[in-house]
Amino acid sequence: MKKVSPKFKSLAAKLLYWFAANARDLPWRRTRDPYAVWISEIMLQQTQVKTVIPYYERWMQSLPTIQDFAKAKPQRVLKLWEGLGYYRRVRLAQDAARLIMTKHSGSFPESFDEVVALPGVGRYTAGAICSIAFNQPTPILDGNVIRVLTRLLGIAGNPRSKTVNAELWRAAEELVIASGAPSPLNQGMMELGALICLPRQPKCPICPLRPDCFALRNQRVEDFPATAKRPAATLRRFIALVVKDGERLLVQRRPNGVVNAGLWEFPNVEVPVNAKDLKKLIPPFQITDRSRFIEIRHSITRYRIILEAYNAKLSSNSLLAETNSVWKTQAQMSKLPFTSAHRKVMQRTIHLQA
Ligand code: ADE
């Protein structure tokens, strides 16, 4: 066992005291079921707490056990995830659920090494599961914890660089060991980052670690964490084609092995950002109404994406086979998992028809 420094013991005690009084009542905090903790952590990887809550609750009602998840049809799983984005997370999670069924006889593994070996589970998520579900002193380090630790301890340098990152993991580990209470300590770190130690305008006057904070003492709170230069975002432009036949619309399923695999969308093509004449770019489709009826802008990883939707037709019905698209009614479409951007196109289409 590592030696515990009095400084870290004192920090941990203050944080635990604060967390006991200030923890939000979040649905995944009412359980220690490792399956539930795991699902919540996967959902929370790239998504905010308030967005995750309804998804988590719906998920646990629909698929309350690992067995249910392992057996579920991928389309059902994607439908439950629809709108959360980063769909690779849920595909890897289902691989993990199946692995738990075959390799671990259906019970969630408890050792850190076995947990971190599951598909889609990295050091952070394994640390969160082992500490929250099993109360093991495994550290966690995410954006919130990085902010707290760099400010508290005055850790300079890019927190994603190898040396600084290793220093941060060591500090997180020392703190969780010093606490003697891994589950609330780690959750307290997350909570402090989410409620008090905010990226901008942190609430230092009410912070429980105020007397100990390096950055505050030196009036340098805004200097931490050091920000790495991000590569400039790449702009990409897509044209979606809304083709109607009475009640039915043409839609297609994204193939396996591409981003957003298995999700549904309107037929669409990527075009040069500045393209003016779309005619040559979109066969076998023809735009029937030159004014686009919706434009959606969103970002995913390092791409800024513009999706423009137009009413269109097939230049000849015999060309349908070329498009990989199929006709679906609105009722059928509502049961399929759509990407968020294309779901907005669909809602606008329905709205305009009504
Ligand atoms: N962010 C990541 N994991 C979390 C958790 N368990 N509770 C609140 N926010 C989180």
Residues above pLDDT 70, as percent of the chain: 98
Query: pLDDT at position 124, please?
Result: 98
Please choose, from the candidates 112, 114, 121, 127, the residue with its C-alpha nearest in 3D space to the C-alpha of residue 93: 121
Whether 41 lines ligand 1, by a CB cut-off of 6 Å, is yes
Percent of residues in the chain assigned helix, strand, coil, to nearest 5 = 50, 15, 35
**For residue 144, which atom of ligand 1 is closest to its CA?**
1
Instruction: Tell me how crowded residue 243 is: count the other CB atoms within 10 A of its CB.
Output: 22
Per-residue pLDDT at 293: 78
Can you give the pLDDT at residue 2?
59
Atom of ligand 1 nearest to the CA of 37: 6
Q: Say if CB 286 and CB 260 are below 8 A apart.
A: no
129 lines ligand 1 (CB under 6 A): no
pLDDT tens for 52-65 read: 999 999 999 999 99
Model confidence, pTM: 0.88
CA distance 268 to 250: 11
CB of residue 82 inside a 6 A radius of ligand 1? no
For CA atoms 90, 95, 96, 97, the dihedral sign is positive
Residues of the chain with pLDDT below 50 are none
Ligand 1 within 6 A of CB of 53: no
Tokens of 314: 């097939």
With beta carbons less than 8 A apart as the criterion, state whether 32 and 132 touch. Answer: yes
Give residues with Cβ within 8 angstroms of 65, minimum separation 6.
35
Question: Residue 354's pLDDT is what?
Answer: 60
Query: What is the distance in A from the centroid of ligand 1 to the CA of 47?
Result: 10
Distance between start and end Cα atoms, the chain? 67
Domains of the chain: 6-223 (1.10.340.30), 234-353 (3.90.79.10)
pLDDT attached to residue 207: 98
CA of 99 to the centre of ligand 1 (A): 25
Query: What SS3 state is found at 61?
Result: helix
Ligand 1 pocket: which of 185, 190, 198 to mutate (most atoms <8 Å of CB)?
Answer: 190
How far apart are the CA of 28 and the centre of ligand 1, in A?
9
Predicted confidence at residue 212, as pLDDT, reads 98
Least Cα distance to 212 among 145, 151, 144, 142 occurs for 151
Element (H, E) at 240: strand 234-245
Q: Which residue's CA lies nearest to atom 1 of ligand 1?
A: 44
Query: Residues near 274 by Cβ (< 8 Å), separated by ≥ 6?
Result: none
Evaluate: CB of 141 within 6 angstroms of ligand 1: no
| The ligand 1 atom nearest the CA atom of 24 | 8
3-state class (DSSP) for residue 25: coil
Query: Any idea how long the chain is?
Result: 354
Atom of ligand 1 minimally distant from the CA of 40: 6
Q: Is the CB of 49 under 6 A from ligand 1?
A: yes
Widest pairwise Cα distance in the chain: 77
Say if CB 226 and CB 297 are below 8 A apart.
no
Residues marked active site are found at 41
Residues 136, 111 contacting (CB under 8 angstroms): no
